[in-house]
Structure 1
Amino acid sequence: MTDPQVAHTSQLSESTLAASRAFLNDAFDGDFGDEDWAHTIGGMHVLLWEGDALIGHASVVQRMMLLGDRPLRCGYVEGVGVRADRRGRGHGGALMAACERVVERAYDLGALSTSEEGTRLYLSRGWRLWQGPTSVLAPEGIVPTPEEDGGVLFWEAGVPLDPTGPLTCDWRGGDVW
């Protein structure tokens, strides 16, 4: 397995960004829209290549989280995917190992919203379930997001956390988590 390429969005060529966008659309079976792509760019991308073929992608973007009333810099993991015919070979773990290094060196914590399919991978790597209530700091104030409770995972990056406390993410268009 080749080492992942780690680069900021600004360092990637237009063709690599276009390939990443198309790849994620395929990896998510056509369910990766423009807002999803907007959530994926502007941070660090982790890319896995086999020759000229992109076979894996993940990114870490900066977000602000509130743990109670305490602001935290969060490395939020987005756009994690491995080409269907390459799954089950450790590529997802390689992507996440690179994401975890980014989080540990630059952020107070890591977080992600997971699907049922991705949960096993993340938990096996040491990501933990956020047990407290979730919410979003929306234009109208703090709005609970109970539909996300039980689906947000976190990675400790040296800042003591109480995973039973209330966790509030910053506002963005589309899926807030």
Structure 2
Amino acid sequence: MTILTARHTADLSAADRAELRALLDTVFADHEGGYDDTDFEHGLGGWHVLVHDGGVLVGHGAVVRRQFLLGGRALPVGYVENVAVAVSHRRRGLGSAVMGELERVVLAGHGAGFLAASAEGAPLYERRGWRVWRGPLSVLTVEGVRRTPEEEDGGVRVLDPDRTWDVEQDLVCEWRSGDVW
């Protein structure tokens, strides 16, 4: 039996976190640049959508709060992290189920959502209405706003059902360790 639940990081036990880390390590084993502690930590501090099949964790996604700068305004946004489905459970609609719940959390709690899409995940997000952010991407550092590498352009997606966001604008995220997007 497949069961989908949503829980806050604060409600995950040490065993839950260990099981989550094992799933993410396995799913992202071939991820460009690897998957490490920093990548795992990016998905903590918010809401997790967990999919268990027969008591085994087979799917996950998280929404964390981040600060972006857009048009000179600071905006709190819901940022989707660590979306993963075990290889043995793909093509069964679990990724869509996880994203559906994450989108509900994003829209109810933040109004709009963002994520950085891998080439593998991009088609799922496009089908679900996540638009490509076409404007330049930057990061706010202690030295000021710095342009992120141009190869990251086109990798960020936004979910705004009313299409109120101008995806051609400059988008600036706050600095964090590891991948800023």
Task: Quickly name the TM-score band, shorter chain normalised.
Answer: over 0.9
Distance 1:129 1:108 in 2: 17
Matched, 1:40 2:43: yes
Q: TM-score, normalised by structure 2?
A: 0.93
Query: For 1:70 and 1:171, how far apart are their aligned partners in 2?
Result: 16
Moved beyond 2 Å, runs of 4+ = 157-160
3-state DSSP class of the match of 1:25? helix
Is residue 92 of structure 2 the alignment partner of residue 64 of structure 1?
no
Contact 1:108 1:157 in 2 (8 A): no
Q: Give the alignment of 1:110-149 within 5 angstroms.
A: 110-145=113-148, 146-149=150-153
Task: Give the aligned residue type for 2:158.
Answer: F
Whether the 8 Å CA contact 2:62–2:102 is kept in 1: the answer is yes
Q: How many percent of aligned residue pairs carry the same amino acid?
A: 46
Is the Cα contact below 8 Å between 2:3 and 2:53 reproduced in 1?
no
Match of 2:112 among 94, 99, 109: 109
Are the aligned partners of 2:6 and 2:49 in contact in 1 as well (CA < 8 Å)?
yes
CA drift at 1:158: 6.0
Residue pair 1:132, 1:149 contacting (<8 A) in 2 also: yes
Cα separation, 2, equivalents of 1:115 and 1:95: 16
Matched-pair contact (CA < 8 Å) for 1:72–1:108: no
One-letter identity of the residue aligned with 1:18 = A
SS in 2 for 1:120: helix
1:63-82 correspondence runs (5 A): 63-82=66-85
Counterpart of 1:98 in 2: which secondary structure?
helix
Structure 2 gaps of 5+ residues are none
Aligned residues: 177
User: Deviation per CA, 1:10-33, whole angstroms, max 9, x where unpaired?
Assistant: 011111111001110001126320
2:25 corresponds to: 25
- Contact 2:80 2:102 survives alignment (8 Å): yes
Can you give the 5+ residue segments of structure 1 that lack an aligned partner in the other structure?
Answer: none
Counterpart Cα distance in 1 of 2:131 and 2:163: 14
Deviation sequence 1:49-100 (CA, Å, 0-9, x none): 0121001010000000111211111110000100001111100000100110
Q: What SS does the corresponding residue of 1:117 show, helix, strand or coil?
A: coil
Q: Return the TM-score normalized by structure 1.
A: 0.95
